[in-house]
Structure 1
Amino acid sequence: MFGRRAVDMAPGTHYRSERVSAVNGQYFFSTREGTLEGPFFTRVDAEREIALYIRRIQQASALMALSGR
């Protein structure tokens, strides 16, 4: 995928990968920031948490923009 996120200085190639992984029966998801979030009991739980994580990141970015940083 070739494109640019709002925070990127220049266009680049971003490869999509499976964000949810299972380790010993527990589920985790990886972020663009390089963190591994979890564990979660089910894949559905992990996918729901991905949506909540994205919302938190977007809210934090909006607050930072409002504060002038």
Structure 2
Amino acid sequence: MLGKRAQDPAPTTIFRSDRICRVNGEFYFDTREGTQEGPFANREAALQAVEAYIQRMLPSDQIAS
């Protein structure tokens, strides 16, 4: 039996929210899985890590070329 998402006729749109926080001068990001990733030296490095994390977590048929 297919789940509801598998039956959706429209393609899935991924909405991203700002999950970056700063703790004691270091940057972290929170994941949907409930983990906190980091630390990163600056916000830009954290943003790059968020993008890399998302790409790792996507099913292979949804990875952007």
Displacement of 1:62 after TM fit?
A: 2.8
Q: Which amino acid aligns with 2:53?
A: Y
Of all paired residues, the percent bearing the same amino acid is 44
Query: In 1, Cα distance between the equivalents of 2:47 and 2:17?
Result: 14
Match of 1:57 in 2: 57
Instruction: Indicate the RMSD between aligned Cα atoms, in angstroms.
Output: 2.1
Q: Deviations over 1:16-52 (max 9, x none)?
A: 7530000000000001111100000000000000000
Output the TM-score relative to the length of structure 1.
Answer: 0.61
Aligned residues: 48
Normalising by structure 2, we get a TM-score of 0.64
Higher fraction of strand: 1
How far apart, in 2, do the equivalents of 1:56 and 1:30 lie? 15
Structure 2: tracts of 5 or more residues without a match? 7-15
Structure 1 unaligned spans of 5+: 1-5, 8-15, 64-69
